[in-house]
Amino acid sequence: MGRHLALAISILGLAALLAGAARPLKLDFYGHYGYSWLSPRKDSPWNPGPVHVLASCDSALLLQIDGRLRLGKAVFCASPQWRAAHDGTWKTGLREATLNVNLGNFDLTAGKTLIRMGTGYMFTPISVITPDKSLADPEDNGHEQEGVWLLKADYYRESFSLGALVFKKNNWSNLALFGYVDAGRVDLYAILFHPEYRKLEFGLAAAGTLGESVELHAEIMVRRRSPVLRHRAFSVPFGAALFPQWPLFQPPDRCYPEILLGANVTFKGVNVIAEYYHADWGITAEEYRRLQGHYAISLSELPGPLAQMNLAADLELLQAGSRGMMRDYFFARLWKALKGVSLTAVGFVNLSDGSFLSLVEASWFLSDGITLYIRPLYFSGSQGDEFGDSVYSAMLQAGFSVRL
Amino acid sequence: MSRIKKWLFLVVLLLLAMLAKDLCGQAEADLLAKIDRYRMLAGSFRMDVRLQDYDGETLKDEALFKGFFAGDDRSLLICDSGKDKGMKVLMKGDDMWVNLGGSKRALRITPMQRLMGEASNGDVAKVSFNRDYTGKRLDDEGGLLKLELKAKSTGATYQRVLLYADPRTHQPVKAEFFLLSGKHYKTAHYQKGTVGDNRAAITTMRIEDKRNPRRYTLMEYLDFKPGQFPEKYFNVMYLPQIEAE
């Protein structure tokens, strides 16, 4: 990553020199500092306890420069980052670095960039290239999301556009074709996606308005392979000690639809976004219980290499779902701007077990570009439920961001 | 025979009534077209829009938008200052999208979502009274022409408008906007200035909240310049890539 950063800065600097003072080089600065007070849930089955003591506070400082240089029909953008962790260590990163060539109705893009497609706010099943939004920071104030390396070609007319892109995950064999049509009162999106090592997947999305204050949106993405490994359903004849050895398997190829239904309503100055999300590849309540059992065994077996492997697989499984690993979720966000303050309330409910996460945020706009925020989060649910078992029961985040 | 005559008479009467209605409608459409002339709706041009939100005499918020206006119903606004710097709002007829500063895509929004203060997205859009509404002339009030406008489309920001204009010059003076529910929602007061080659035009709008008369937003049109823009500027997928330069 250091090499990428050095390369981006060198290119930007060289380009600036070549362009001379008269050429438009635009530089913006973004800084963010966030501090979190964390309340670990001691009885959480995911809490590794004596193995790794969970922190009760965390902080992060981010400095980012957004450089933009226009040279005729080409625009070069780079966003190098410097990030300081709570333990004082610094990390460099490159959030984005792209070269965009504008050829009339055609646009060519090469480099590392963040792309978001689709119609949803929290969930975007058709946005196959986009990193998932964080529940704790849906607006990504901490700029944790990083771009993806890609080559992209787009053709734009006023009422439709077509695009093709090749991007890198593990390798460069991820190909997507997508289209957009402005069909009057409705936006229509379609995507064909050929992921690495997998069969062709496809998706459709639509968004439209109803009357003066209601927006409706829907998406469906048909996946051909589950991103989540499964635990074997059969009982273990030789006792729990052997259980970790063969616990996981890849479910067979079939269609796994991901569905989003959502609405955005403005009523008396309050903006409400509500979304229902279904992921057919998500695990069931029974599989969730088996996963917990397996995790407990993996922990007790540590430091055996096999158990460590299993533990790693469990943790990967935990993070495999976009915002949760089960099947049905409901998300709601209420937003209202008052005098100088913006208030947001978010609820995220697992519909299978009723456990939920709630969040309230107050943001103050102190002056041009300076925002201060405070954000308490609370995880709620019974033992054995997804959010009732979360490692932390509550968080309080506070911080500020500066954009110059 | 007398029966046929009676029927013919009725048909002619009906045709005359339809013609009269059409002529009346045409007269009101012509009137709206004259009123629209003050609202800078024709052609393609660059123009800045300044919004200032007041509570009584206190300025609560302020933002400057760079505006790209094309044809008679397309506009793109890019916020150039304030807390929403970088936000882009695309409007095509009754349809609107927003791209928040730093976000990588644009989302469809409703006209009632607030741009700032009392100004909704629909207020800043190039609403053409003649294109979007059918008019009916009412009795003059306070020496002003009074027209009742009904939206042609159900997607219009406001379904009913009472419009007041100078009877001699047809300059709009005031408009009262009503929601689908029939509720009087806002009142806009128009002030005349000049643009480009000293053409008389509405350059300031004061938008008042009917529920809270202390709160109002001043919307000023500044720096009018004719210009042409690529059609992709009005494609929602291209919105995140546009820079105000």
The predicted structure's pLDDT at residue A40: 85
Distance (Å) from the alpha carbon of B193 to chain A's nearest alpha carbon: 30
Query: What is the domain extent for residue A53?
Result: 2-403
Query: What is the domain extent for residue B45?
Result: 37-241
The answer to whether A44 and A390 are in contact (CB under 8 A) is yes
Residue percentage of chain A with pLDDT more than 70? 80
Which residue of chain B has the CA closest to A336?
B114
Closest partner residue to A266 (CB to CB) among B107, B113, B238 is B113
In this predicted model, which residue has the larger pLDDT, A219 or B91? A219
DSSP 8-class letter at B180: T
Please report where in the chains the tokens 């993996």 appear, as a residue.
A298
Q: What is the pLDDT of residues A230-287, one digit of tens each?
A: 665 544 444 444 444 445 666 777 888 999 999 999 887 788 999 999 998 888 887 7
Distance (Å) from the alpha carbon of B155 to chain A's nearest alpha carbon: 5
The answer to whether A61 and A33 are in contact (CB under 8 A) is yes
The predicted structure's pLDDT at residue A186: 93
Closest among A403, A399, A401 to A59, alpha carbons compared:
A399
The predicted structure's pLDDT at residue A112: 94
Angstrom distance (rounded) from CA A97 to CA A29: 15
CATH of the domain at A290: 2.40.160.10
Instruction: Assess whether pLDDT exceeds 60 at residue A342.
Output: yes
Number of domains comprising chain A? 1
The predicted structure's pLDDT at residue A240: 44
Closest partner residue to A213 (CB to CB) among B95, B112, B230 is B112
Report the pLDDT averaged over residues A301-306.
58
Q: Could you tell me if residue B87 is inside a domain?
A: yes
The predicted structure's pLDDT at residue A292: 76
Please report where in the chains the tokens 């029966």 appear, as a residue.
B3
Closest among A111, A109, A100 to A73, alpha carbons compared:
A100
Before A303, cis peptide (omega within 30)? Answer: yes
Q: What is the average pLDDT score of chain A?
A: 82
First to last CA, chain B: 77
Show residues of chain B in contact with A369, CB under 8 Å. Answer: 85
By three-state DSSP, how is residue B131 classified?
helix
What pTM was estimated for this model as a whole?
0.81
Q: Could you tell me if residue B7 is inside a domain?
A: no
Residue to test with chain A: of B51, B104, B161, most A Cβ within 10 A: B104
The answer to whether A260 and A277 are in contact (CB under 8 A) is yes
In this predicted model, which residue has the larger pLDDT, A145 or A45? A145
- Kindly determine whether residue A207 and residue B108, on different chains, have CB atoms separated by under 8 Å: yes
Put simply, the chain B residues between 205 and 234 with a CB less than 8 A from any chain A CB are 230-232, 234
Residue to test with chain B: of A81, A158, A210, A333, most B Cβ within 10 A: A158
- Kindly determine whether residue A68 and residue B111, on different chains, have CB atoms separated by under 8 Å: no
Angstrom distance (rounded) from CA A401 to CA A370: 6
Q: Could you tell me if residue B60 is inside a domain?
A: yes
- Kindly determine whether residue A403 and residue B243, on different chains, have CB atoms separated by under 8 Å: no
DSSP 8-class letter at A41: -
- Residues 6 or more apart whose CB falls under 8 angstroms from that of A327 comprise A278, A279, A280, A282, A283, A284, A352
DSSP 8-class letter at A326: B
- Kindly determine whether residue B155 and residue A163, on different chains, have CB atoms separated by under 8 Å: no
The answer to whether A273 and A264 are in contact (CB under 8 A) is yes
Angstrom distance (rounded) from CA A252 to CA A391: 31
- Kindly determine whether residue B237 and residue A211, on different chains, have CB atoms separated by under 8 Å: no
Looking at residue B87, its amino acid is: M
- CA A136 to chain CA centroid, nearest Å: 11
By three-state DSSP, how is residue A234 classified?
coil
Q: Could you tell me if residue B172 is inside a domain?
A: yes
In this predicted model, which residue has the larger pLDDT, A241 or A354? A354
B108 CB within 8 Å of a chain A CB: yes
Q: Which two tokens stand for residue A24?
A: 């438009």
The predicted structure's pLDDT at residue B117: 58
The predicted structure's pLDDT at residue A248: 63
Angstrom distance (rounded) from CA A278 to CA A280: 6
CATH of the domain at B177: 2.50.20.10
Q: What is the mean pLDDT of each run of 10 residues along chain B (245 residues)?
A: 79 72 70 82 82 86 87 85 84 85 82 62 65 86 90 76 91 88 86 77 86 84 86 91 72
The answer to whether A262 and A285 are in contact (CB under 8 A) is no
Report the pLDDT averaged over residues A316-330.
67
The answer to whether B157 and B165 are in contact (CB under 8 A) is no
The predicted structure's pLDDT at residue A374: 95
Q: Which two tokens stand for residue A16?
A: 């600036």
Distance (Å) from the alpha carbon of B44 to chain A's nearest alpha carbon: 15
Distance (Å) from the alpha carbon of B7 to chain A's nearest alpha carbon: 44
Please report where in the chains the tokens 């849906």 appear, as a residue.
A138
- Establish, for the pair of chains A and B, how many residue pairs have beta carbons separated by less than 8 Å: 112
Q: Which two tokens stand for residue B178?
A: 């009503």
Q: What is the pLDDT of residues A369-386, one digit of tens each?
A: 789 999 999 999 888 888
The predicted structure's pLDDT at residue A207: 95
Q: At what angle do helices A285-301 and A305-320 cross, to 10 degrees?
A: 150
Number of domains comprising chain B? 1
- CA A240 to chain CA centroid, nearest Å: 36
The predicted structure's pLDDT at residue B186: 85
Binned at pLDDT 50, 70 and 90, residue A320 comes out as very low
- Kindly determine whether residue A180 and residue B234, on different chains, have CB atoms separated by under 8 Å: no
Closest partner residue to B155 (CB to CB) among A100, A104, A209 is A209
DSSP 8-class letter at B14: H
Q: Could you tell me if residue B23 is inside a domain?
A: no
